């Protein structure tokens, strides 16, 4: 039986999602918690929708796990939250629809990067989730620059390329808004992301927002299809995976097959 697990976590204390020997990871903690709650001799493999990098947070992460035998979803949810550390929380456990794959069935991932560009709006209580800026940002300029990147492109200029992996992605939304005094949110939605892509995209907006670069510069970087040292990969702590979007239940299997054929074993990371 395949089970869908919805969870959130503070990424500050983790070396990303993916299990790594001798390092604390979200996958490692969740797999061990499932083993303990279900009293299994060995951990089961958990697959997630977006393998977040070291320090990146998640409010809307989705995962799945295949379990032999009967499982009470409410008991599993309560048990996991009783075993997991305080920086991880399971918000739902449900029987996965036929054809569901947390990773390959996903249509899109929505990330939000949070900035503060005004000392009057700086909140020390949120410092672990917001990047503090030294200059004021022009949101209108940033939105103009971001709009030019929308659509399906080769985002090699904004990715850490992996041998044999495609860097073609469909950027569905990239927009900025102010949410309060000095508070900015950058929303980035795509069908998938390659390694460090979100933080590089956001990083390309900073010199545009503070006037050091022209509005057209990020699009020129994209067209170059090679990494530009002038594009900063912003710190991980400002980034949160907010949502993973899936098609209707009867389209899950087809979407998973399509994604496997197009992406292969690509990483969906911020």
Q: Measured over all CA atoms, what is the biggest interatomic distance in the chain, rounded to whole angstroms?
A: 60
Closest CA to 154 of 142, 143, 174, 170: 170
Distance CA 39, CA 50 (A): 27
Four-residue CA torsion sign, 36, 38, 41, 46? negative
Catalytic residue status for 228: no
72, 34 in Cβ contact below 8 A? no
Residues that constitute the known binding site: 111
Q: What are phi and psi of 74, to 5 degrees?
A: -70, -40
Distance, CA of 225 to CA of 162 (rounded, Å): 14
The H or E element containing residue 13 is none
Angular region, 164: left φ>0, alpha ψ -120 to 50, beta rest: left
| Those residues with Cβ within 8 angstroms of residue 67's Cβ, 6 or more apart along the chain or in another chain | 1, 2, 3, 38, 44
With the CA atoms of 221, 140, 182 and 50 taken in that order, what torsion angle do they form, in degrees rounded to the nearest 10?
Answer: -50
**Of 10, 53, 117, 191, which one is the catalytic site residue?**
53
Which residues line the annotated binding site for substrate? 111
Spatial contact of 265 and 192, defined as CB atoms under 8 Å apart: no
Active-site residues, by number, are 53
């Amino acid at each position: 039986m395949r089970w869908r697990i919805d969870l959130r976590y503070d990424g500050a204390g983790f070396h990303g999602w993916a299990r790594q020997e001798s390092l604390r990871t979200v996958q490692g903690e969740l797999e061990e918690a499932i083993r303990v709650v279900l009293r299994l001799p060995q951990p089961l493999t958990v697959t997630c929708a977006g393998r977040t990098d070291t320090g990146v947070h998640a409010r809307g992460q989705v995962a799945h796990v295949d379990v032999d035998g009967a499982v009470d979803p409410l008991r599993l949810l309560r048990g996991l939250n009783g075993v997991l550390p305080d920086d991880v929380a399971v918000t739902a456990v449900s029987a996965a629809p036929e054809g569901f794959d947390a990773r390959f069935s996903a249509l899109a991932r929505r990330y939000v990067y949070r900035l503060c560009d005004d000392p009057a709006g700086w909140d020390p209580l949120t410092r672990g989730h917001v990047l503090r800026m030294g200059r004021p940002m022009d949101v209108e300029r940033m939105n103009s620059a971001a709009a030019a990147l929308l659509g399906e492109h080769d985002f090699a200029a904004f990715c850490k390329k992996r041998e044999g992996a495609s860097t073609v992605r469909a950027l569905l939304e990239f927009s900025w808004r102010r949410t309060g005094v000095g508070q900015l949110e950058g929303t980035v939605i795509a069908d998938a992301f390659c390694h460090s892509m979100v933080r590089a995209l956001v990083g390309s907006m900073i010199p545009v927002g503070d006037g050091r670069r022209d509005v057209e510069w990020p699009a020129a970087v994209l067209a170059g299809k090679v990494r530009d040292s002038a594009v900063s990969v912003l710190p991980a702590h400002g980034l949160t995976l907010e949502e993973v979007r899936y098609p209707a239940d009867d389209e899950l299997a087809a979407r998973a097959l399509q994604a496997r054929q197009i992406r292969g074993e690509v990483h969906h990371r911020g």
